[in-house]
Structure 1
């Protein structure tokens, strides 16, 4: 490089991109890269809050200020639409979840000669960063790390453990995979851990599926006022604030619809909100989540009909889709190619698409546009703060 270059944007994986197209790790827009490779920090480069940043793989963008972080999330979504030549009617304000708001996280742990390590993995490595602080997860989740560290040090066998921590109505739901409990003492110690740490539930997978070891009362998560059973390992939006924004968008965009199909509905995050003013068909392939939604609908009396159906192998057909005033879908990262094809072929005129992958969303959105839909509204959502994982809500009409 023979002359200074300015960092003009952040690439999808978090590197700064200079005007000549070269990538530089942990740089921010406005930074200058000198001819000798020296980085001169610009006005959007801030001091990372966490001592583990740069090693821990949980965050890639903690060196960006709020303006640049929001810009990154926005650009990921807008560029995905532009890449498929999709015109955006109205770009709504980007939502960023605040620090320490993540209500679910999967950590890793391992017994070592002098105790145990527990935390996220290093970027591009299986090595575990032993967390002493975290500015992403909710304080209740971080508080669970220390008692878990002591338990792993005394009772875990060889190899890595995966520990899922989720904040539910009753407290922390802790699920440990790859845990082998040898003897009665270890089993009793696990129960004592749950009691002393105040866990809402403790489950362990010793190779035969998750087994609940402690659950003094059924674990639930409240969705739009409905206490819903939450099976071990269930999907839940990462932060409450992002869930509230997404639900508010869905309510606003479905206004006036009397029948709504909620596809890939999970526990019913959107179904129970939409059922306040409409009849909702909640379609989900995961059996336990489907049954949880069905149970909660029955107890609450909400007009939600839960259907167990694999929408990848057996999507709602166009004539079935056409029976509804509005369709909402929130598929996994792979998108919903087959289901979107049936939606495009139907006569439904309103579609709300929530996505956790702008790339697969854009491909599906292209099919809707080709079928006569217009992208009316689009909102970028950054609920995985300081990571490169980006989500969105979108509204299509025809």
Structure 2
């Protein structure tokens, strides 16, 4: 007997009322014996030839309504597991072809150089011949890179390609290559010039080392040009960054006084909110990112004080939070458990929390709520188009 698919599970499979999981199914599809027998209203024809093999996307077969419901559902399920309820705002989805950073795999075979994402649940590289998530500027450089890597990679040796779209153009980082000697150095520079790269860096086992950078590379965050170290983190899309910044601004409202931006990175949020009435103290464990934010903010005249600080080992304690008007948190996937414990014992009136992991966010949110905060709302964000990766921003206020 056939069943209807009701929702999409965390890893992208369709789920029926009886709890059956069916790969490649969309809400509304009818399935039987683990296979789709009839497509429903929320199925769309996947636009890319590499779907579903390519691990870059898991959900190209969903229409926007179903994909938005999946993004919101991931957040709602995580909150429910911790007994939390709040206003869940409509999910914000970044458009196709807007990803401005990507980490791709590369390998030289007997016939060609493969470049692309890994196959789902596999180490096999799906050779990228088209892509509907990368920004066109990034995708355009893939084919020329095959020719360059063909000269610089040993057969069957794994490599990687890091791409970022910066103010000056495409920033390329390569690993798993052999680039010793004058001829290799000249080939790299010639390639970078020919394709107008912003920068070309090589990792030969000691981290990325710049081989070509005609002008200092920057990224503009809320109007402020910040030096961009090779291989640095950047929000996946400009659209997603704007959505998260808007949510953080909304969360802290018209708070006046010093704001702490914790896990600040290059200053995505510090640059957006810093003002004479609202100076920002930013803390970041990455040395290069902290120095970049400090230099960029100083050049722009922004009131941003930057501290190089590991918040996992040394979170701000309640005594350091006494004069703070609001705190912004944007931790890695592991969350900010220790910092939230300290916030629970503080009198900070407002917390804006940005997360790339609904599960650790919900854990930390429960801790804040138990510590006297109210979870006002959550804004789900799907900037990794058609993937199961979900982000969010949330607002907490201390209850009287």
TM-score bracket for the superposition, by shorter chain length: over 0.9
Give SS of 1:278's match.
coil
Cα distance in 2 for residues equivalent to 1:294 and 1:38: 54
Residue 183 of structure 1: CA displacement? 2.9
1:317-336 pair list within 5 angstroms: 317-336=317-336
Matches of 1:15 and 1:84 in 2, distance apart? 23
User: Are the counterparts in 2 of residues 325 and 350 from structure 1 also a CA contact under 8 Å?
Assistant: yes
Question: RMSD over aligned Cα, in angstroms?
Answer: 1.1
Residue aligned with 1:311, SS: coil
Whether 2:123 is the aligned partner of 1:126: answer yes
CA distance in 1, matches of 2:36, 2:295: 60
Query: What TM-score comes out, normalization by structure 1 length?
Result: 0.97
CA–CA separation in structure 2 for the residues paired with 1:84 and 1:296: 40
Give the number of aligned pairs: 395
CA contact under 8 A between 1:200 and 1:219: conserved in structure 2?
yes
CA drift of 1:157 comes to: 2.0
Is the partner of 1:347 in helix, strand or coil?
A: coil
Moved more, 133-142 or 372-381: 372-381
Greater shift, 194-203 or 271-280, is seen at 271-280
Q: Establish whether residue 64 from structure 1 lines up as the match of residue 55 from structure 2.
A: no
Report if the CA contact (8 A) 1:34-1:40 is conserved. no
How many angstroms apart in 2 are the aligned matches of 1:35 and 1:121?
A: 29
TM-score (norm 2): 0.97
Deviations 1:299-334 (A, max 9, x none): 111000001100000101111122201000000000
Counterpart residue number, 2:207:
209
Runs (4+) of structure 1 exceeding 6 A deviation are none
Secondary structure of the residue that 1:132 maps to in structure 2?
Answer: coil
Q: 1:38 to 1:223 in 2, by over 3 A?
A: closer
**CA contact under 8 A between 2:350 and 2:395: conserved in structure 1?**
yes
Residue 310 of structure 1 is matched in structure 2 by 310
| Structure 1 Cα separation of the partners of residues 246 and 322 of structure 2 | 24
Task: Report deviation, 1:36.
Answer: 7.7
Is the deviation greater in 34-43 or in 135-144?
34-43
1:95 aligns with one of 92, 99, 113: 92
The aligned runs of 1:254-273 (5 Å cut-off) are 254-257=252-255, 258-273=257-272
Q: Secondary structure at the match of 1:374?
A: strand
Which residue number corresponds to residue 378 of structure 1? Answer: 378
Deviations 1:353-387 (A, max 9, x none): 00000000000000011011111111100000100
**Corresponding residue SS for 2:66:** helix
Q: Does 1:117 align with 2:114?
A: yes
CA contact (8 A) 2:173 2:200 kept: yes
1:104 corresponds in structure 2 to: 101
CA positional deviation for 1:155: 2.2
Question: Could you give the per-residue CA deviations for residues 24-51 of structure 1, whole angstroms, max 9, x where no partner exists?
Answer: 1010001101358453111111110000
Contact 2:251–2:394 (Cα < 8 Å) also in 1: no
Gaps of 5+ in 1: none
What is the CA distance between 1:280 and its match in structure 2?
A: 0.3
Gaps of at least 5 residues in structure 2 are: none
Q: CA deviation at 1:174?
A: 0.4
